Amino acid sequence: MISDEDVLKIAQKMEDANNIDIKKTIEKASNVGYLGEKHFYCTVIEDGGLTHTIPEILGNPYKSQPLDNLYFDIISKALDHDGIYISLGYCASHIIIPDSECSEIIEYDDYDLDEDEYEYMVEYSLITSNGVKKFKVYAEEGIAGHDRTEDIGLMINIIDGDYKAYFALRSTDQCMSSFRVMPLKMDYPKEHPLSLKNPINKIMIEMIDKTVVEKN
């Protein structure tokens, strides 16, 4: 599994976001299809971490919005304010994917527990536009996974003329009626769902690093 140091290197590299092709990255992510409507892949952030889809901003939250010039014009304007969030990965315990369809199966056991202390194995499918991996962990390890209404990606905005990007988790309710973006941090212990040290997030970050489209 990727080390804490390598995760931090990816996070620091991503922070210098001037080399990210935002339009192509959104288009690539939306082709995965796990969020349903394509406009859910990028939302506009407002003060406080709440976000809005493009149809919401246009006044009709129930209407589908294609990834057209209007869509990306709104995204471009939002970068100068509180920024945008691009969904790039999804961690799911409720989706059963055969081992044969996963590029890698990772079993996690990092605690000195006796064998009889392990009782419940949880399997997470980790999905990006670049592929699928499976992560297996015993619930007794205390590692927090993501809910089915959460996804992981990048929050991006322009600060002092430069693009900045940070890994974050987006959470919503079942009806996708409200979104909140929360940045990942090294400060949290590895069991925390917002920790860059969390093994699930570490794997997702390594996968997301391969899905971001760079400018030519």
Strands 179-183, 50-52: pairing kind: antiparallel
Asked if residue 65 is part of any domain, the answer here is: yes
- Which tokens in the block code for residue 166? 């940070």
Neighbours of 66 (CB within 10 A): 11
Could you give the CA distance from residue 20 to residue 82 in angstroms, rounded to a whole number? Answer: 18
Domain membership of residue 56 as a residue range: 4-209
Asked if residue 81 is part of any domain, the answer here is: yes
Structural domain count of the chain: 1
Asked if residue 215 is part of any domain, the answer here is: no
Nearest to 23 by CA among 90, 84, 91: 84
Asked if residue 105 is part of any domain, the answer here is: yes
Q: What is the mean pLDDT of residues 78-89?
A: 93
- Range from 49-53, 66-70, 145-149, 170-174 carrying the lowest mean pLDDT: 170-174
Given a cut of 60, whether residue 113 has pLDDT beyond it is: no
Q: What is residue 104's three-state secondary structure?
A: strand
Asked if residue 58 is part of any domain, the answer here is: yes
pTM, 2 dp: 0.90
Alpha carbon separation from 130 to 5, 74, 93, 180 (Å, rounded)? 23, 27, 19, 25
Asked if residue 216 is part of any domain, the answer here is: no
pLDDT digits (tens, 9 = 90+) for 1-12: 789 999 999 999
Could you give the CA distance from residue 213 to residue 216 in angstroms, rounded to a whole number? Answer: 9
Asked if residue 59 is part of any domain, the answer here is: yes
Given a cut of 80, whether residue 143 has pLDDT beyond it is: yes
Among residues of the chain, what percentage have pLDDT more than 70?
Answer: 93
Confidence of residue 173 (pLDDT cuts 50, 70, 90): low
Asked if residue 214 is part of any domain, the answer here is: no
| Burial group, residue 216, by CB count within 10 angstroms (0-12, 13-18, 19+) | exposed
Residue 153: partners with Cβ closer than 8 Å, 6 or more residues away: 29, 85, 86, 87, 88, 89, 167, 168, 170, 208
